[in-house]
Amino acid sequence: MHFVELYDTTLRDGTQGEGVSLSVDDKLKLVKRLDQYGIDFVEGGWPGSNPKDAEFFKRARDLQLEHTKLTAFGSTRRANLAVEDDANLAALIASGVSTATIFGKSWDFHVREALRTTLDENLRMITESVAYLRSHGLAVIYDAEHFFDGYKADPAYALETLKAALAGGAARIVLCDTNGGCLPHVIQEVTQMVIQATGAPVGIHTHNDCGVGVANALMAVKVGAGHVQGTINGYGERSGNADLCQIIPNLVLKLGVRCNADVRVTTKVSRYVDELANISPDSRRPFVGDSVFAHKAGIHVSALLHHPETYEHMAPELVGNRRRVLVSELSGASNVIYKAKEYGIELQKGSPALMQVLTAVKELEHEGYTFDGAEGSFELLLKKAVGLFVPYFELIGFRLIIDKRSPDDNPMAEASIKIRIGDTVVHTVADGLGPVNALDLALRKALEEQYPIIKEMQLIDYKVRVLEEKAGTEARVRVLVESAAHGRSWSTVGVSANIIEASWRALVDSIEYGLMMCEAKPQAQLVATKD
């Protein structure tokens, strides 16, 4: 297969997606990360449209890029206006980039109804705009907006718009499925026709409104397109753009296409962009999601132990991802043996410890526990079963008081807790915004003198799920707690009909797992009970 250029438009098209926003600093960081990834062109934004993009291009002049060419985005000149008088074109020239991407109309319907001009004037707008930018030393990528819809309506005119761009000196013509309504066979047929009719370098820009944005891009490449546009994680308007984190692995690993991106860091890039955008990663996102190489069924895991290819279409390491084995009531011995190896524990089939873990998992999941997202609790369960865990403390008892003194006051919570550490009894009291917060603070207070490392542990997420909605206020709840320390995070779970008890179980697992992970050792024994 031929070589394909990669063009990223996350900073412009991607930020048009609902809930996606990047600061100027974020955009600058992302350009550098995409440069390291090996993306050929990164579209920085539309310098003539808003102050943020204007500032971005001003600051981007100081970027030291090894590979990526930064591009500025804009449109053809306005109808019946000289190119030298068009502010949008002037902003592209002033942006300081060496490559500009401009879009023009391919669909006669848009020319008449959106631009409210003639078909001939639209062709002049395209040619003159490209030529004007070329005369100022810029290479021009021409995006043929709504090309496939335009081709369906009037094939001859749609082709004329491409020829107009080439006449002006466009380096590449990019066919855009702007509304995302085409299916792969249409993209394939029309792209092949354009390549044959123009003999020019052709690119593809697809959206995902029919769920086939990536497939459409791949079909265009298969018939000769040498330039692919998309966004990281498929960010973009409506259903989003074609996802480069899916396009690139498919190109390289499935089609054997050459490109400059380092496919091995695709997962890291995907999660970096989610972090910048403050968006929770989609665990089921193909190639890079946390769940896409996760296995739960016992028969699958048994086969994976011998031949991973039995239930994986590729090795997860090829895209920087990892294999995960989940433990649940569906698990067999193979799942537990596999997980135990991750923790450095060798379990033998038929051993009492293995059977104890399997039985406990099935019983606990019947009660409402889930270990899919609470591997901290599972590791504790496993190590207790094989005798590798020594409790850090023992609960003697706790008491909670909720105090609301008037209808307008927010209730306050007070937790009193008594625990035993070795031969020492520690009794502490703490106030909190709610009962779980107060209990968490009291427990930490009781432990911090003996285990100072606990001051570095943070509770970063707390989720409650009702398991039996029809049971009303008597329903059991599942509490998931996520904590972090020293650059690592872990999740634990607790279940009970009493939300405080469920929270307590999750909190205790969270703290004990954190102490175990940090290899905390008790300080010198306290000499007296604290009150």
Each residue's pLDDT tens digit, 284-298: 999 999 777 776 655
* CA dist list (Å): 324 to 61, 333, 338: 43, 15, 9
What's the pLDDT at 386?
80
Question: pLDDT tens digits, residue range 83-131?
Answer: 999 999 999 999 999 999 999 999 999 899 988 999 999 999 999 999 9
CATH architecture of 5-261: Alpha-Beta Barrel (3.20)
CA distance 76 to 269: 33
pLDDT tier, 529 (very low <50, low <70, confident <90, very high otherwise): very low
Answer with the residue of higher pLDDT: 375 or 299: 375
* pLDDT at site 516: 86
pLDDT at residue 29 is higher than 60 = yes
| Strand pairing class (477-485; 458-466) | antiparallel
Average pLDDT of 342-352?
76
Q: Average of pLDDT values for 35-63? A: 91
Amino acid 525: pLDDT: 45
Q: Write down the CATH number for the domain with range 394-517.
A: 3.30.160.270
Calculate mean pLDDT across residues 161-189.
Answer: 97
Q: What are phi and psi of 231, to 5 degrees?
A: -130, 155
Average pLDDT over residues 476-484: 88
Flag whether the pTM goes above 0.95: no
- Among candidate residues 350, 356, 286, 271, the one with its CA nearest the CA of residue 316: 286
- Above pLDDT 90, what percent of the chain? 57
pLDDT band per the 50, 70, 90 thresholds, residue 524: very low
Task: Specify the higher pLDDT residue, 226 or 308.
Answer: 226
CB atoms near residue 307 (< 10 Å): 9
Which of residues 125 and 373 earns the better pLDDT score? Answer: 125
Query: Looking at this protein, which amino acid is placed at residue 490?
Result: W
Distances (CA, A) of 347 to 34, 340, 380: 43, 7, 15
Biggest distance spanned by C-alpha atoms of the chain: 93
Poorest-confidence range of 185-189, 191-195, 326-330?
326-330
Average pLDDT over residues 27-40: 95
**395 and 416 in contact (C-beta within 8 Å)?**
no
Q: What is the DSSP string of 439-503?
A: HHHHHHHHHTTT-GGGGG-EEEEEEEEES-GGGGGG--EEEEEEEEETTEEEEEEEEESSHHHHH
Q: Which two tokens stand for residue 460?
A: 């970063």
Give the integer Cα–Cα distance in Å for 378 and 112. 64
Tell me the C-alpha distance between 469 and 120, whole Å: 64
Residues 397-412 have a mean pLDDT of 87
Q: 65-94 pLDDT, tens per residue?
A: 999 999 999 999 999 999 999 999 999 999
DSSP per-residue string spanning 73-103: EEEPPPTT--GGG-HHHHHHHHT--SEEEEE
Q: What is the pLDDT of residue 341?
A: 75
Distance of alpha carbon 491 from alpha carbon 379, whole angstroms: 11
Q: What are the phi and psi torsion angles at 194 (to 5°)?
A: -65, -45
Give yes or no for residue 526 having a pLDDT over 50: no
Q: How far apart are CA 329 and CA 331, in angstroms?
A: 5
- Pairwise CA distance, residues 5 & 229, whole Å: 9
Tell me what pLDDT residue 382 has: 80
Residue 423 per-residue DSSP state: T
pLDDT tier, 10 (very low <50, low <70, confident <90, very high otherwise): very high
Look up residue 62 and give its two tokens: 């100081």
Alpha helices (H) along 298-342? 298-306, 333-342
Is the pLDDT confidence value at 328 over 60? no
Where are the chain's structural domains? 5-261, 294-369, 394-517
Helix (H) or strand (E) holding 160: helix 155-168
Q: Give the lowest-confidence range in 149-163, 320-334, 343-357, 457-471.
A: 320-334
Sign of torsion over alpha carbons 402, 403, 404, 410: negative
In the chain, count of helices (H) and strands (E)?
A: 17, 16
pLDDT range class, residue 262, cuts 50, 70, 90: very high
pLDDT at residue 528, rounded to an integer: 37
pLDDT of residue 522: 61
**CA distance readout (Å), 463 to 291, 459, 502, 503:** 20, 11, 11, 10
Contact residues for 169 (Cβ-Cβ < 8 A; gap 6+): 130, 131, 134, 140
Using 50, 70 and 90 to split pLDDT, how confident is the model at 305? low
Are 493 and 510 a contacting pair, CB within 8 Å?
no
- Return the higher-pLDDT residue of 249 and 324: 249
Residue corresponding to tokens 């707390």: 462
pLDDT of residue 283: 83
Between 136 and 21, the more confident residue is: 136
Q: Considering the chain, what percentage of its residues have pLDDT values greater than 70?
A: 91
Task: Give 293 or 476, the one with higher predicted confidence.
Answer: 476
Which pLDDT does position 530 carry in this prediction?
42
Q: Over the chain, what is the mean pLDDT?
A: 88
Distance CA 484, CA 393 (A): 20
